[in-house]
Each structure stands twice: as structure tokens, then as C-alpha cells.
Amino acid sequence: MVFITSFSVLFPLFAKIGIGFALRQIGILTERSLRELNNMVFRVLLPVLLFSNLYKTDFSTIESFKLLWFSVILIVTSFSSYMIVIPKLISDNAKRGVLVQGITRSNFIFFGMPLATTLYGGTSVGIASLMVGVVVPLLNMTSVVALEYFRGNRPDYGKILRGILKNPIIIGGALGLVCTITGLRLPQALENLVFEIAGISTPVALIVLGGSVTFSSVHLNRKPLIIGVINRLIILPAIGITISVLAGFRDLELMLLLSFLAAPSAVSSFAMAQQMDGDADLAGQMVVFTTVFSLITLFFWLSGFMAFTNF
């Protein structure tokens, strides 16, 4: 059951990446069209997706903020730690920001809810949606900080702040949060349009990733890839899940934390790296390789979870 659950979540991701790769090989997608599509993904589709996720979040249903606060602490702590550790291991700034993003920014939005729903049914959707509403915007913000900080040879803090404020994904999240907090609702026709655009965001992003990712530079990126994959799929989950158990989380809440910590790198990290002068090849390879190996690592993490909770 565990393998089937993991495979059912991962296969659609692989299939769309494969479609993009095939379309590039037969010439339907060209380098120019992929750059233009990636620009659209970064500036339109992903901001709309994040807006939609937050817009649909109902914070009034929260009975306990413990899980949400704990998630925030995990993100800030892991991000701060890797901002210190990665520069000691990697000398190239373009790779540093991408690695920090790839390790700390998980694909929780596409793993948390499917895994929770599969194991705990429809009653889990509410708390999973609330966690998405908190985790995803914060992960996007830390990613922007990492990529801006390592952009160029010397950090310009004013430029970093401007980059954060002008980032389309951050703007989309901020607008969604404003609507959620104030209760502002869009006209029905516009709301439906937003949801429809959000629905195509991930498939398009995956196809563009598949068409854009190259493996010719894998040998050049061997060291950062090994560091990134091992930390994303093994070291960070091992530390985070242990702390979560010691903090008293069990059952559905522990499952959500596990899927957040053990999921592969976020698909959108490729688009952001390419648009913010990071090493796009490394970012794409991080997404592909962590997604591939997560089929194995998630099997073990889920098996351990089921044994621990007597599922």
C-alpha cells in the first residue's frame, strides 16, 4: 500500500516532466519558446496558484495554532542553518542560492494533501489546506531571499528587499492573504477564472521543466547535486521528523509534517532560479533527481510512520 500510495503521487509528476522532455526532443518546444513559457509560469501562473491557495484558506477553522507555528519554526530554522552551511561547502553563488532553495523548499503542496487524503480521508483536507496556506508562502519568501542574497558577487540588502517586494509570487501570495484576512471575495466569474488558471499552473510548470532540464552538466554539478539530494530527502527529514515526534505530534499532524519534510524539491524552484539568475540547470536537476529518489525515500519514511503510529 505504501509503495502504491507513493507511486500514485509521483507518477503524474514524472509523466508531465517526460512529456516536456519528449516535446523538446521532437522540436515542438524550442529553447526560445521554453524561455517564454518559463517567464509566463514565473510571472503569471505560479502567482495565481499561490493566490488561489491562500484565497481558499479558511483560517477561522483553526482550533490549534501549534502545528502552524511549529511548521514556521522548522522552515526558519532550516533555512537559516543552510544559509550558513551551504556557503562553506559551495563556492559558486549561483549554485549556493539554488541549493538553499532546493533543500529547504519542498513540494509539499503536491504531496501533503494527496498523502493525507489517501491515508486519512476527506476529513484531513481542511487542516492540510491550512498548513499549505502557511507553509507555501513562507517557503516562497525564503527562496526569494536565498536567490537574491547570492545574486551577484556581493549581497546588496536594499536590492534583496526590493527583489522580495517586486517578486510576482510574493505579490500573488500577499494579495491572497489580504483577501483571506479581510474576507474580500472576487466576483464569481473572476473567481472561477482564477481557479481555472491555478489548475493549469502545475502541469504547465512540469512540462516546461521537462523541456528545459539538461543532463549534460550533471557531471559538473555532481557535488552540489549529491549535497542537495541527500539533505533534501534524508538529513533534513531525519532531523525534522525526530524533533516533530519529540514535540508530541502524532497521526495526521505528524503525517503532514513528514510529507512537508520528506517531499522532493518544489517544481516552481526551477522557474524561480531561472528568472533570478540562479543556476537553472542545477535547479532543474535538483527537482528531477529528488523526485526520482523520493519514490524510494518516501517509501521508507511512510513505512516508518505507519509502524510508529500502528496505522
Confidence of residue 2 (pLDDT cuts 50, 70, 90): low
In a domain, residue 255? The reply is yes
- Mean pLDDT across the chain, nearest whole number? 87
In a domain, residue 125? The reply is yes
- pLDDT, residue 42, reads 85
* Tens digits of residue pLDDT in 208-263: 888 988 777 788 899 999 999 999 999 999 999 999 999 999 988 998 999 899 99
Give dist(CA 21, CA 86) in Å, integer.
30
CB contact at 8 A, 230 and 217? no
Q: What is the mean pLDDT of residues 2-18?
A: 76
Check whether 296 has a pLDDT greater than 70.
Answer: yes
In a domain, residue 128? The reply is yes
* Tens digits of residue pLDDT in 266-277: 888 998 898 888
Check whether 195 has a pLDDT greater than 90.
Answer: yes
Burial (CB < 10 A; 0-12, 13-18, 19+), residue 234, is: middle
In a domain, residue 46? The reply is yes
Q: Work out the percent of the chain whose per-residue pLDDT is above 70.
A: 91
Confidence of residue 154 (pLDDT cuts 50, 70, 90): low
Check whether 153 has a pLDDT greater than 80.
Answer: no
In a domain, residue 311? The reply is no
Check whether 180 has a pLDDT greater than 90.
Answer: no
Confidence of residue 285 (pLDDT cuts 50, 70, 90): very high
For 129-153, give one letter per residue: b (16+ CB within 10 A) or e. Answer: bbbbbbbbbbbbbbbbbbbbbbbee
Check whether 9 has a pLDDT greater than 80.
Answer: no
> Dihedral sign, CA of 98, 144, 21, 15?
positive
Whole-angstrom Cα Rg for the chain = 18
- pLDDT, residue 280, reads 92
State how many domains the chain has.
Answer: 1
Q: Count, in order, helices (H) and strands (E) of the chain.
A: 15, 0
Q: Which of 125-134, 150-159, 237-246, 301-310 has the highest mean pLDDT?
A: 237-246
Helix (H, G, I), strand (E, B) or coil at 112: helix
Residues of the domain holding 224? 2-306
* Tens digits of residue pLDDT in 91-138: 999 999 999 999 999 988 777 666 776 777 666 666 777 787 788 888
Q: What is the mean pLDDT of residues 23-44?
A: 92
pTM of the model: 0.84
In a domain, residue 248? The reply is yes
Q: What is the mean pLDDT of residues 79-84?
A: 97
Give dist(CA 84, CA 62) in Å, integer.
34
Identify the CATH number of the domain in which residue 56 sits: 1.20.1530.20
In a domain, residue 118? The reply is yes
Grid cell at residue 157: 540588502
